[in-house]
Amino acid sequence: MRNKYLLVDGMALLFRSFYATSLTGQFMINQHGVPTNAVQGFLKHLWHAMDEVTPTHTIICWDMGSTTFRTEEYAAYKANRSAPPVEMEPQFGLVREITDELGFHSVGVVNYEADDCIGTIMKQLKDENVVVLSGDKDLLQLLDVNHEVWLLQKGYGNYAKWTVDSFKDEYGINPNQLIDVKGLMGDPSDGYPGVKGVGEKTALKWIQQFGSVESLLENISSLTKTQQTKINTHLDDLHLSKKLAAIHCEVPLSFQQSDGKTPESTSMNWEFLDHHGMGAVKRYLVTKSFIA
């Protein structure tokens, strides 16, 4: 049987799970006084995905702090994001502890984001079937013939499933050209500017026409004077933003294709969940017939 890999953007699942219940004050505090809502939701998302993907290998990739090579390059990168709520803080370590105890393979490298780890592993798995689970559209730049990106939607088990073909049909460009579009339009959520006054519609039109930022600049005389002025005024921001938008696929991580075999539920230490007051998660998974 051919291998199939599920690569999980750990923080994307964890934050989505936290905010899904925290807005109504459901922090699911356990007997030790520790909130568990994010971790419980994370595990539900994970099992729903594994049930649909049926991966032979499951690898969870993690951010390793807010400081990365991008913040060193541009101090304002993601600086506009508020600190995690206090109820979230203890769950960062707890989710790692629990996923490790259950037998999942985790990857995280200091100075890099989870996206970069995912991109690096996908590059090594170029000829393998890969599904990426995330909520981050930036990962669409990694789409390839054998590689899909599933973006989480509201509820469990609901995804926007992206392939190379669906991306081309939607945007009229190749996935790797997404960084050119992002370079032009910027990304307010990540805090990098792009070219002021250029939105997604214009950026997409230009990349459809010219193919890349570099080709656009070579043919800048074909644009209106106003458009030329916008680009020339913000040329440094344009180059910086494209660089920040690109997922780095050369992270110095240790990974072999044999790593991360999906653990069997029968071999998992479920008592560990009971110890952390999360027996409800096991009951949920049994009810859904995800585990025996």
Render each residue's pLDDT in the chain as its tens digit; 292 residues.
Answer: 799 999 999 999 999 999 999 989 999 999 999 999 999 999 999 999 999 999 999 999 999 999 999 999 999 999 999 999 999 999 999 999 999 999 999 999 999 999 999 999 999 999 999 999 999 999 999 999 999 999 999 999 999 999 999 999 999 999 999 999 999 999 999 999 999 999 999 999 999 999 999 999 999 999 999 999 999 999 999 999 999 999 999 999 999 999 999 999 888 888 889 999 998 898 999 999 998 7
Of 119, 247, 118, 123, nearest to 179 by C-alpha is: 247
Strands 159-162 and 4-9: unpaired
**Residue 53 structure tokens:** 């993907």
The reported pLDDT for the residue numbered 144 is 98
C-alpha triplet 290, 128, 168: angle, nearest 5°: 95
Give the type of residue at 200.
Answer: E
Question: What whole-number distance in Å separates Cα of residue 163 and Cα of residue 169?
Answer: 10
* Structural domains of the chain ordered from first start: 4-170+247-287 (3.40.50.1010), 172-245 (1.10.150.20)
Sheet containing strand 57-61, edge to edge, reads 105-107, 57-61, 4-9, 129-134, 147-152, 159-162
Exposure b/e, 137-171, CB count within 10 A at least 16 = b: ebbbbbbbebbbbbbbeeebeebeebbbeebeeeb
Residue with tokens 């969870």: 60
Please tell me the predicted confidence (pLDDT) of residue 282.
87
What ranges make up the beta strands (E) of the chain?
4-9, 57-61, 105-107, 129-134, 147-152, 159-162
pLDDT value, residue 183? 99
Question: Which residues lie closer than 8 Å to 103 by C-beta, 6 or more apart?
Answer: 263, 267, 268
Q: With contact defined as beta carbons under 8 Å apart, do 131 and 54 qualify? A: no
Cα 172 from Cα 292, distance rounded (Å): 45
**pTM for the model:** 0.97
Q: Mapping DSSP to helix (H, G, I), strand (E, B) and coil, where does residue 53 land?
A: helix
